[in-house]
Amino acid sequence: MTLDVPGVRRVTLVVDVEAYTVRDNRAQVELQQTLLWTLERACTRAGVGVGRCLRQDRGDGQLLILPAGIDESRQLPLLLRGARAALHRANQAPGIAGRMRLRAALSQGIVHRAATGFVGRSVVLACRLLDSAVLHEALDDHEDTDLAVIVSDDLYSDVFAHGYGDTTADDFRRVDVTMPAKRFAAPAWVHVPGPASGVVLREAERLPPPGRGPRSGPVLAAFGGAVAGAGLVEAAITALNWPADEADEPPAPHHHHDDPFDDVFPDYSDWDDPAY
């Protein structure tokens, strides 16, 4: 059988929020808002073109397909550094949801666009690694940090094993992920960054926290599509531009009834274009 949908090689990033389901509705609204803000800051820190990232909602998390042509040796370590710094900033003054901690998984491989999202071994791999017991335990065992990362074996060998950026091979621990019920087994590498108190974003990277300042258009339009759960959730996610002197303030809820994700989901007719 020949597929009539293109397959393109991409890096997949998938994240989820620790203890999301035990929070009430108001806290989940705030967590979704802060999560998108954190991802936007991380992508900007890495110099990844967020306008070319593709997004699939996972409720308590997000799946991003990074654009083609990025410098993985430089930008993937920066992406992790940016996420760590953004989490540290958001958690300095958490709202009703309290501290937000993330699990993240990275993989690479051929990705197809399908009827309800993205298809490919690398997508399944990233999601299985994210849900693994070893990653949950890694975050549970390091209460002083807000982020635990797991990387597929091939991506680790290509990028992180060579010590690009501010990570070294010794920062990662090899693990064997097994899920008998899913008939899944794969080697992977876990990284738990230390507390981010010493991580400082350059002024140009200090993106505005959600919920402040005049409206100026979709900051997070790159992630496309309506966020699951209309009403409170769509009202809480804002598309704003903030003055530089407010850049260090933690996220604050903001409620209006315009959905900044309307009409901004990427046009997949160009999915087979190498520029995407």
Predicted confidence at residue 200, as pLDDT, reads 47
Residue ranges of domains in the chain:
7-270
The dihedral of CA 164, 167, 173, 176: what is its sign?
Answer: negative
CATH fold group of domain 7-270: Alpha-Beta Plaits (3.30.70)
The tens-digit pLDDT sequence of the chain (276 residues) is 556 778 999 999 999 999 999 999 999 999 999 999 999 999 999 999 777 899 999 889 999 999 999 999 999 999 999 999 999 999 999 999 999 999 999 999 999 999 999 999 999 999 999 999 999 999 999 999 999 999 999 999 999 999 999 999 999 999 999 999 999 999 999 999 988 654 444 443 444 444 443 333 333 444 444 333 333 333 333 332 322 333 344 455 544 434 333 333 344 444 445 444
Predicted confidence at residue 195, as pLDDT, reads 80
Predicted confidence at residue 207, as pLDDT, reads 42
Predicted confidence at residue 102, as pLDDT, reads 99
Q: Is the pTM of this model over 0.85?
A: no
